[in-house]
């Protein structure tokens, strides 16, 4: 009941303001381990002062991209630029002194207290602030002299965020920081990030497979799947460009009229169903989305709302 017309492209849309030099740029970056390709021709830019949400399911290549951004691992091909300079050789170590990092799993020496950890971190970061560190520990309700080995997972995440922010980083990288947290701890952690970042000039790169984590935070997102960027832009733009149509099949139901949408490049993210119902999900590839008069659709077809999580899942499944 749905004609298979697909207009597809792997190229993400350009930066909205090309005059702004990105703080982080990955240009045609590929990463392979032997015959295993983890990233393929990845092009990604993070603007100064924005919160960039990096979405993808587990195994998509997100952590590998972060290792390249931090200069921990070199790309097989392509260029990684951070703070206007290529991340290679000793440059990576120097740049990391201005990058705050919160990982998925926090590993501290269990006998070290936040006080002891602060003294240790002070010697690693040139812009470290003891005053801000103490204020963050108080705000995050973390005991100053208690051994970190007794902390819960949420407390360890807040401690890692305190240390990252106390270094006054130009770039804050968060790699699945809420993994394993209960809903209350996750919401509290995200609120802390939003509050702190709003009061600073820090640029944030937030990697996650949970769209709810960055839905209220991100200025722009990139969706990574199979080592390739399949979308880059704002969440609102993604929502505006995507539509789902549904039909309960009867003997009078016609196919969805895809041919009437020509002149507005789009891709079919999903098309399928069974003998009783059919659905089609479309994503327009530019802001020039046509106005679809639901009353003019064939009998039985109607547009149904989609959450951002619905869109994310549909885009990922379409690639497999």
Q: Which residue has the higher pLDDT, 247 or 259?
A: 247
Percentage of residues in the chain having pLDDT higher than 70: 91
| Separation of alpha carbons 172 and 50, rounded Å | 11
pTM (2 d.p.): 0.85
**Highest-confidence segment of 36-45, 100-109, 287-296:** 36-45
Residue 139 CB contacts under 8 Å (≥ 6 apart), including other chains = 192
- What gap in Å lies between CA 235 and CA 256, rounded to an integer? 26
Q: Is residue 150 within 8 Å of 113, Cβ to Cβ?
A: no
Whether 14 has a pLDDT exceeding 70, the answer reads: no
Question: What tokens were used for 233?
Answer: 């832009």
* Rounded distance between C-alpha atoms, residue 51 and residue 230, angstroms: 19
Residues in a beta bridge with 246: 279, 302
- Residue 309 pLDDT > 70: yes
Q: What span, in angstroms and rounded, lies between the C-alpha atoms of 193 and 202?
A: 11
Q: Give mean pLDDT, residues 202-207.
A: 93
Q: Does residue 13 register a pLDDT over 60?
A: no
pLDDT bracket for residue 266 (50, 70, 90): confident
Task: Give the DSSP H or E segment for 302.
Answer: strand 301-304
Tokens 């603007």 locate to 47
pLDDT for 229: 92
Which carries the bigger pLDDT value, residue 49 or residue 319? 49
How many Å apart are CA 280 and CA 209, to the nearest integer?
A: 24
54-76 mean pLDDT = 92
| 8 Å CB contact between 175 and 100 | no
Task: Tell me the DSSP string of 212-236.
Answer: HHHTTT-SEEEEEETTEEEEEE-HH
User: H-helix or E-strand containing 264?
Assistant: none
pLDDT above 90 coverage of the chain, percent: 41
- pLDDT in the model for residue 5: 35
* 36-42 long-range Cβ contacts below 8 angstroms, 24+ apart: 37/227, 38/64, 38/227, 39/64, 39/65, 39/68, 39/75, 39/227, 39/228, 40/226, 40/227, 40/228, 41/78, 41/228, 42/78, 42/224, 42/227, 42/228, 42/229
Alpha helices in the chain (DSSP H): 62-69, 91-96, 114-122, 130-139, 153-166, 183-198, 211-214, 235-241, 308-318
Q: Over 70: is that where the pLDDT of 294 sits?
A: no
* 153-162, 174-183, 184-193, 287-296, range with the lowest pLDDT: 287-296
Q: Domain 24-236 adopts which CATH fold?
A: Rossmann fold (3.40.50)
pLDDT at residue 79, rounded to an integer = 94
pLDDT at 256: 80
B/e letters for 179-196, b = 16+ CB within 10 Å, e = fewer, are bebeeebbebbbebbeeb
**Cβ-based neighbours of 35, under 8 Å, separated by 6 or more:** none
Cα 285 from chain centre: 20
Give the residue extent of every domain in the chain: 24-236, 239-318
Minimum mean pLDDT range among 11-15, 55-59, 137-141, 307-311: 11-15
CA 171, 175, 180, 184 torsion-angle sign: positive
The reported pLDDT for the residue numbered 11 is 40
- 214-255 pLDDT, tens digit per residue, is 888 898 999 999 899 989 998 888 888 898 988 887 777 777
Residue 231: beta bridge partners?
A: 223
Please determine, for residue 7, whether its predicted confidence score (pLDDT) is greater than 50. Answer: no
Q: Is 46 helix (H, G, I), strand (E, B) or coil?
A: strand
Tell me, what's the pLDDT at 262?
Answer: 67
Mean of all residue pLDDT scores within the chain:
85
Nearest alpha-carbon partner for 208 in 29, 52, 11, 46: 52
pLDDT of residue 28: 96
Q: Report pLDDT for 291.
A: 74
């Amino acid at each position: 009941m749905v004609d298979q017309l697909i207009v597809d492209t792997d190229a993400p849309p350009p930066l909205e303001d090309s005059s702004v030099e990105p703080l982080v740029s990955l240009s045609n970056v590929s990463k392979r381990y032997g015959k295993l390709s983890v990233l393929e021709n990845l092009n990604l830019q993070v603007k100064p002062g924005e919160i960039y949400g990096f979405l993808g399911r587990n195994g998509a290549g997100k952590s590998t991209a972060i290792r390249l951004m931090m200069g921990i691992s070199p790309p097989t091909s392509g260029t990684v630029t951070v703070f206007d300079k290529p991340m290679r050789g000793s440059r990576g170590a120097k740049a990391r002194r201005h990058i705050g990092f919160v990982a998925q799993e926090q590993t501290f020496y269990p006998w070290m207290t936040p006080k002891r950890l602060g003294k240790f971190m002070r010697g690693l970061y040139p812009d470290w602030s003891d005053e801000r560190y103490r204020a963050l520990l108080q705000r995050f309700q973390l005991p100053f002299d208690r051994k970190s080995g007794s902390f819960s997972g949420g407390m360890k995440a807040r401690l890692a965020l305190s240390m990252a922010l106390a270094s006054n980083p130009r770039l804050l990288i968060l790699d699945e920081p809420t993994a394993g947290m209960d809903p209350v701890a996750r919401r509290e952690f995200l609120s802390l990030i939003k509050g702190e970042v709003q009061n600073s000039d820090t640029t944030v790169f937030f990697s996650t497979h949970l769209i709810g984590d960055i839905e209220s935070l991100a200025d722009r997102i990139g969706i990574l799947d199979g080592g390739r960027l399949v979308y880059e832009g704002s969440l609102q733009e993604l929502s505006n460009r995507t539509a789902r149509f549904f039909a309960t099949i009867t003997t009078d139901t016609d196919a969805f009229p895809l041919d009437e949408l020509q002149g507005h490049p789009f891709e079919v993210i999903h098309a399928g169903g069974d003998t009783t119902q059919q659905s089609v999900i479309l994503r327009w590839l530019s802001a020039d989305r046509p106005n679809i008069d639901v009353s003019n659709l064939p009998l039985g077809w109607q547009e149904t709302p989609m959450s951002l999580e619905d869109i994310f899942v549909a885009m990922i499944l379409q690639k497999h």
